[in-house]
Structure 1
Amino acid sequence: MIEASERQKAVRAGVRLELVTVVWMAAEAVLAIGAGIAARSVLLTAFGFDSVIELVSGGALLWRLSSEARGATSKRMENVERRATGISAVLLVLLCAYVVFVGVAGLVARLRPEGSALGVGVAVAAVVVMPLLAWRKRRANLVIGSPALRADIAETITCAYLAAATLAGAGLNLIAGWWWAEYVAALVLLVFIAMETKEAIESAFTSPPRGEVGPARSARPGGESH
């Protein structure tokens, strides 16, 4: 059984993490999209679009966790959890569609990205920060057990992957002339996103058992296991 004090501590930690997410993603989205457009880099622009998705997701999770931190009733938390999970599911679907579009369009049109020092800097920062942020969120969710937070974690991991793919694509294009590398890497990412999207959709449209969401909820064995 998860003690109420331990859950409250995890929820407060989650609120702080989502605040960091919202601020970070707002800056990252502006910088990445601007650099991507300037460099004609489809994947860098997609990386910025993912930052917008993560920004909205962070806002939804901030609402969900803040509601619990303020002592919302179990019934209220069930409604908030479902809405937050639904928002995350829609955002993941949009992310899947966008990655497919940019990957296929880039390969078909043979779009060759140009170098961008700003874009590389933003991607390097994301590669360092996003895995740490995802790890901290996962630790908190082992106690909270929120499907919405789980989907948000998937989006944070996606952000890190897209940043790494952007760097790898830029490097391979510069060293070997493999302009197509970043598009292939983006399409490979779909395997992970699709699995998390499916789970988020199922969670959004499945009623949680009474008491599963809320301050008095006990953690399931294994936390946020698949």
Structure 2
Amino acid sequence: MEHQTERRSATGHSQRSQLLRRGLVLEYITLGWNIAGFVIVGFAAMAARSVALAGFGLDSLIEIFASVVVIWHLTSARGNKERLALQTIGAAFIALAVYIVVQTIFVFVTGGRPARSPAGIAWLTATVIAMLGLARGKLVTGRRLHNAVLIAESRVTVVDAYLAAAVLVGVALNTVTGWWWADPLAGILIAYYALVEGVAHWEEGRSGDA
């Protein structure tokens, strides 16, 4: 009986180690994708003077930050650091929402008009597909690990996919039809989701203090 218990314990430890490695691999892939995306979308945003692309580029930067936080958590963080990780991600999202609102108001006041961006459209399309796949993997792995931070970051990745789709619509409408206002409106949608996710992550971190 004692040997059976030890074998079960060893098997459980091995499975958990495999899940942790899987979670880290998913985060490293997300990290690499978003580093590339930040550069590509950043150049596309500057070339097209697009609020939506600029906002999405900053969202990619926050996703990079979130991945770093989760990697840190999976490799070393425990206890109160989990709450700190959630609140840090939440604060970054809230800051993004504030920036996009200010930038969008500036565009409407100054009458700025975004140019067409085929490169932005191509990258956004690929990002929607990639982020949905990564988000699913993180959610399944996080649930099996009972890891709140990885589960929360899977939601960040889902939002990243939805925002890529929203920005894709705005940028495509501007490119195909010339509806310039679709671009900053897509930016406002990013701000809304960023605020919702930011508050949710912040409150989830605070709830652990009780």
TM-score between the two structures when normalised by the length of structure 2: 0.82
Please tell me whether the aligned partners of residues 147 and 200 of structure 1 are also in contact (alpha carbons under 8 angstroms). Answer: no
AA at the equivalent of 1:193: A
Match of 1:14 among 2, 19, 23: 23
Residue correspondence of structure 1 range 211-226 to structure 2 within 5 A: none
Gaps of 5+ in 2: 1-11
SS at match of 1:77: coil
Q: How many residues align?
A: 199
Cα offsets for 1:82-119 (capped at 9, x unmatched): 22212211111122212322333333333221122322
State the TM-score, normalizing by the size of structure 1.
0.77
Two-structure CA RMSD over aligned residues (Å): 2.3
Instruction: Letter of the 1:127 partner, please give it.
Output: V
| Structure that is richer in helix per residue | 2
Instruction: Determine the structure 2 residue equivalent to 1:52.
Output: 61
Greater gyration radius? 2
Distance in 1 (CA, whole Å) between partners of 2:192 and 2:14 is: 38
CA distance in 2 between counterparts of 1:101 and 1:155 reads: 22
Contact 1:41–1:113, Cα closer than 8 Å, also in 2: yes
Contact 1:148–1:200 (8 Å) recurs in 2 = no
Structure 1 match to 2:5 = none
Q: How does 1:21-32 map to 2 (within 5 A)?
A: 21-32=30-41
Q: Does 1:83 align with 2:84?
A: yes
Q: 1:64: how far off?
A: 0.7
C-alpha spacing 1:108/1:158, structure 2 compared with 1 (3 Å):
farther
Tell me: CA distance 1:101–1:10, structure 2 relative to 1, closer, same or farther (3 Å): farther
Greater Cα shift, 90-99 or 131-140: 90-99
Match of 1:117 in 2: 118
Q: Which amino acid aligns with 2:205?
A: A
Do the aligned partners of 1:43 and 1:186 also contact (CA within 8 Å) in 2? Answer: yes
My pick for the range that moved more, 91-100 or 44-53, is 91-100
Higher mean C-alpha displacement, 163-172 vs 4-13: 4-13
Deviation at 1:40, TM superposition (A): 1.0
